[in-house]
Structure 1
Amino acid sequence: MTIKCRVNRTGLVRLGRAALLMLAAVLSGCASLPEREPAPASWAIRDTANTALAEVTADDIAAHPGLSGALLLGDPMDAFVVRLGMIEAAEKSLDLQYYIWHQDLTGDTLLNRLLHAADRGVRVRLLLDDLDTAGKADTLFGLDAHPNIEVRLFNPFASRTSRVSGFLTDFGRVNRRMHNKTITADNRLTVLGGRNIGDEYFNATEEVVFGDLDVLCQGAVVDEVSVQFDLYWNSPWAYPMDRFANGRDTVADLNRFRRASEAQLEQAKKSRYAQGLAGAVQKLRSLESDDFEWGQAKLIYDDPGKVGGLKLSSDTHLAPELLKVMAQVEHDLLIISPYFVPGERLTQYLVNMVERGIRVRIVTNSLAANDVPVVHAGYMRYREALVAGGVELFEYKAPLETETEQQKDKEPFWKGASRGSLHAKSMVFEEEGLFVGSFNLDARSAVLNTEIGVLIHNPEYAKKISADLDRLILDKAYQVTLEEGDLVWVTRHDGEMVRFDREPDTSWWTRFSTGFMRYIVPEGML
């Protein structure tokens, strides 16, 4: 008997989808998430008045009731030393929430110090987005086995061996990630901003460094960060690590991790990077209370339910709150966003601002500096409209300045990376206030990922960022302009103005492939 089959395009799509589902089932072994019985709730420890961090912050907080002190961390090595110092100083609690935590020189060092903090009685809660945990089971199970450390995974993949199967069978869920980055010590100091944990964020590699921005805070906003952390930690999207153990000997994992971690720390201490940190360590030790700028601060963040498709509103999402602040601008707006895909509506919104007499400056990555070329493909669609509409558009250079001859003579000098990529996510409003956080101006940050940031009213910081950008931007970036309808890139090199008529520092293949992607990549995925 012969069976005839006629399949139209819809049928082919269905057959293709069915084949992918079958493949995914084979890859994952029909994996599923553990039963979602409520995990034991825990909350920030607020009884920390007798800790060392409370003592060093008490006078400033008392002198600024209801306000927050902020110290911007632009230097990557300073940012590492501050985190290390917070971990070493903590006496009761450490709450850490990160999208990416690499196991490299800086990441392993911080994990070692967390282990030692737990050994001396500090309660450590480590909340990691599950996207970056592949291959790290031994470390995470080991840490979680310590009686004073608990690890939870946010929005985890069902299969612990294949991320591919998760994307094939459950794409709508696992495509939504927790992009928040915070570390809080004894509920007295917190750091939040754009940096994940890894060598490229702290200039500990000679390959590439991310130009980034964090803010170290004390005062009222610290408790707001703790409330946010508790909301995520106790949400149904945060799964305790031990739910995935399945009878595993995690105590053995802890013992192996401890031995390996101690050996790694000894190697890290001998590195040129460790010796290069001396200046940053001295800077941290010499911090004075007047190094912090005090003022009103407001934490804004997405509800963790955003990964479940929570309806967009100003009560549950960060983006509407930022738009409210942007809508109040009458004179000057500065946007710094490494991944900038504004879409038609925001593009027109920014052009309309210029038409009303508002100065709008945007700094994003050049194609050579962008570590995600597909995002650049989405951004390319709007460059001409922005520039034609009067927006001042700048693209961050990839090549960094080399060390001076004087620095070369200083051994051991840590020169760091030779190439850079913009990773800071910040805004300055009217040279009066600023936003520092994890939020990019793209669809992924607005719709898919959860984000966090702080709005700080501080004219001194805002004016300094704005003035420094005007003074230095052409040394660090290309200004994109239009000449006779074509885009050109202008920059300053060795004091001389230089002009390019195509994407600088790129090969023809990079330009071609990225230009091709601009026509096929769905913008909602960027």
Structure 2
Amino acid sequence: MKKPATKKRWVRRIIGYSLLALLVYMILGATLPFARFPEVSQEFQQSFSTDPFYSDTVGTDRAVLVETSQEALEYRLKILNEAEDRILFSTFDMSPDQSGTELYSMMLAAADRGVKVQILVDGLSGIKSLRKDMKNYALGTHPNIEIRFYNLPNPLLPWTFIGRMHDKFICVDNKFLLLGGRNSSNYFLGEYNPDVLSYDRDVLIYNGSGKEPEEGSVWQQIEAYFTSLWDGGDCTTVYDRVSKRKEEKLQEAAASLRETHQRLLEERKELFDPDTDYVAMTVPTRKVSLIYNPIHKMSKEPWVWYQLTQLMKEADSRVWIQTPYAVLNDAMYKALESIGSDLDDYEMLTNSVAGGDNFMGSSDYIFNKEKILNTGITVYEFQGNHSMHNKSMLLDGDLSIIGSYNLDMRSTYLDTETMLIIHGEEFAETLEDAMLAMWDQSLKVTPEGDYEAREGVEPLVLSGSRKYLYPITSVVFQLFRFLL
């Protein structure tokens, strides 16, 4: 009579051990492949030089800083409307909300007039944010549009959840390149949710020469980079077919997008002005260059960080860093320390723990803030009314750096990243003004980790559940901080 009970216990044990083994597999599979930090190869180091980032003469590329969320949406809509031949659209995250729908409508309109549109979205963000919204199919089934996801996660291969595509740029006809830190949603674009916004920064590069891109130009660099990602083997075409029973919904979604485009035509005529003077809107530059990380989905050599450190080491007197997060390993701490040894002005602006929107990043910052301060860099924490997502550097008075790279281990070793290096005094002045405007809303952190008082700036106060969770998570997250 006891045998059935014994058999049931064995079945439960087998199920329990199997689930435990699966859990261990998932945890180890998502962590062990990324626990080691690769170093930049000797080959890469020997081939690298900072000389190509500089020029003695003014080039054909002009630039304008895109600082507000409303400007960010409007510039995107304007350059998409200008497309005549090809659009390369890359984003970490995209949402079919109001700003996203307006972007969709402009790309569909471009495709309707014969423009080839390639849209590349990170796979993990894509399946979370885009899901089965029919607007995606309205684009993806158009003969002139293709949508691909980078590194679509496989539940049986846990390491596919880690390495992400973090790039955010739009390239139109080798004439416009908009690149920065903004994702494609209301949180970053437009003012549809004014109480729920994130500060961020982009740069628009304009080539008004009408000539084919020169060898080594940023236009050749961005196209080659996008193509390597697109064809690299880690991308999957999505939203390219629908079942017969959804055909009517597909047509309704396409019609809705075309109605959105028509509404923009009628209500936002300035976006479609054929006489827009992009020369007047921009300033000249000497040289614009692209840097990026390896494109595969596993742990990466820190190409972007290495190139940034080499440029910072050559600065004569000033290095300003603006980053939403600061999560560093020992090699990065040492690099920061060596960079600042001969500088007169060495500062970093990051989010305060109370104001930041990255729970894990803030947790780590609490635990390791002292290590950052010990590198010798002067740290300021932003106290503005929204979280700050800007990723920029300013070197001396002529080199500006803007893009998607956060000063953390994820951007350094795990994700694809892109940054533009812009040589030119006039643009550096505009970036300096924008950075100072945010510094004016910030408080200096003392060597003891407190704030130095400043007239007109009150420190944000940590509230809610985070106040009680951070003392715990700041310690627990040290176990896997290499994934942050």
Which band: TM-score by shorter chain? 0.7 to 0.9
* 2:131 counterpart of 1:141: no
After superposition, give the CA deviation of every residue in 1:68-99 in whole Å (9 maximum; x if it has no partner): 32222112222211111111111111111111
After superposition, give the CA deviation of every residue in 1:486-524 in whole Å (9 maximum; x if it has no partner): 52353442xxx65x5xxx232164233123211111211
- Matched with 2:47 is none
* 2:227 counterpart of 1:230: yes
- Would the alpha carbon gap of residues 110 and 486 (structure 1) be closer, same or farther in structure 2, given more than 3 Å must change? closer
- Matched with 1:209 is 197
* 2:418 counterpart of 1:452: yes
Partner residue of 1:516 out of 472, 480, 484: 472
Q: How does 1:226-265 map to 2 (within 5 A)?
A: 226-241=223-238, 245=241, 252=248, 254-262=250-258
Partner residue of 1:156 out of 129, 152, 156: 152
After superposition, give the CA deviation of every residue in 1:253-304 in whole Å (9 maximum; x if it has no partner): 541311332455678789xxx77x97x989x935435722221122111232
Q: How does 1:84-483 map to 2 (within 5 A)?
A: 84-134=77-127, 135-158=131-154, 166=155, 169-204=156-191, 205-219=193-207, 220-241=217-238, 245=241, 252=248, 254-262=250-258, 285-289=276-280, 291-305=282-296, 307-309=297-299, 312=301, 317-387=303-373, 390-399=376-385, 420-466=386-432, 469-470=435-436, 472-473=437-438, 475-482=440-447
Number of residue pairs matched? 431
Question: 3-state DSSP class of the match of 1:207?
Answer: coil
TM-score after normalising by structure 1? 0.73
How far apart in 2 are the matches of 1:72 and 1:445?
23
Q: % of aligned pairs identical?
A: 23
TM-score after normalising by structure 2? 0.79
Q: Structure 2 unaligned runs (5+)?
A: 11-15, 27-56, 208-216
After superposition, give the CA deviation of every residue in 1:378-434 in whole Å (9 maximum; x if it has no partner): 1223323433554221112242xxxxxxxxxxxxxxxxxxxx111111111122201
**Residue 475 (structure 1) shift:** 3.4
How far apart in 1 are the matches of 2:115 and 2:451?
55
After superposition, give the CA deviation of every residue in 1:173-222 in whole Å (9 maximum; x if it has no partner): 12111111111112221111111111121242122222211111134312
- Would the alpha carbon gap of residues 357 and 218 (structure 1) be closer, same or farther in structure 2, given more than 3 Å must change? closer
Q: Is the 8 A contact 1:347 1:385 kept in 2?
A: yes
Q: Structure 1 unaligned runs (5+)?
A: 7-11, 23-63, 159-165, 400-419
Question: 3-state DSSP class of the match of 1:394?
Answer: strand
Look up the equivalent residue of 2:20 and give its one-letter code: G
- Would the alpha carbon gap of residues 74 and 473 (structure 1) be closer, same or farther in structure 2, given more than 3 Å must change? closer
How far apart in 2 are the matches of 1:21 and 1:248?
40
Q: How does 1:499-510 map to 2 (within 5 A)?
A: 504-507=460-463, 509-510=465-466
Moved more, 225-234 or 320-329: 320-329
Q: Is the 8 A contact 1:434 1:456 kept in 2?
A: yes
**Residue 14 (structure 1) shift:** 7.5
How far apart in 1 are the matches of 2:375 and 2:75?
41
**Residue 249 (structure 1) shift:** 6.4
- Matched with 1:54 is none
Look up the equivalent residue of 1:234 and give its one-letter code: D
Aligned CA-pair RMSD: 3.4
Q: Is the 8 A contact 1:141 1:253 kept in 2?
A: no
- Would the alpha carbon gap of residues 308 and 246 (structure 1) be closer, same or farther in structure 2, given more than 3 Å must change? farther
Q: Is the 8 A contact 1:221 1:298 kept in 2?
A: yes
Look up the equivalent residue of 1:422 and give its one-letter code: M
Question: 3-state DSSP class of the match of 1:199?
Answer: coil
Look up the equivalent residue of 2:235 and give its one-letter code: A
How far apart in 2 are the matches of 1:441 and 1:182?
19
How far apart in 1 are the matches of 2:188 and 2:92?
13
- Would the alpha carbon gap of residues 480 and 431 (structure 1) be closer, same or farther in structure 2, given more than 3 Å must change? same
Question: 3-state DSSP class of the match of 1:490?
Answer: coil
Q: Is the 8 A contact 1:334 1:466 kept in 2?
A: no
Question: 3-state DSSP class of the match of 1:216?
Answer: strand
How far apart in 1 are the matches of 2:299 and 2:374?
36
- Matched with 2:213 is none
- Would the alpha carbon gap of residues 309 and 250 (structure 1) be closer, same or farther in structure 2, given more than 3 Å must change? farther
- Matched with 1:68 is 61
Question: 3-state DSSP class of the match of 1:201?
Answer: coil
- Would the alpha carbon gap of residues 465 and 514 (structure 1) be closer, same or farther in structure 2, given more than 3 Å must change? same
After superposition, give the CA deviation of every residue in 1:208-254 in whole Å (9 maximum; x if it has no partner): 222211111134312321121111111101111267x5866675454
How far apart in 2 are the matches of 1:188 and 1:486?
46
Question: 3-state DSSP class of the match of 1:285?
Answer: coil
Q: Is the 8 A contact 2:96 2:133 kept in 1?
A: no
- Would the alpha carbon gap of residues 190 and 365 (structure 1) be closer, same or farther in structure 2, given more than 3 Å must change? same
Q: Is the 8 A contact 1:436 1:455 kept in 2?
A: yes
* 2:9 counterpart of 1:18: no
Look up the equivalent residue of 1:104 and give its one-letter code: D
How far apart in 2 are the matches of 1:87 and 1:299?
21
How far apart in 2 are the matches of 1:248 and 1:91?
32
How far apart in 2 are the matches of 1:121 and 1:76?
29
Look up the equivalent residue of 2:412 and give its one-letter code: A
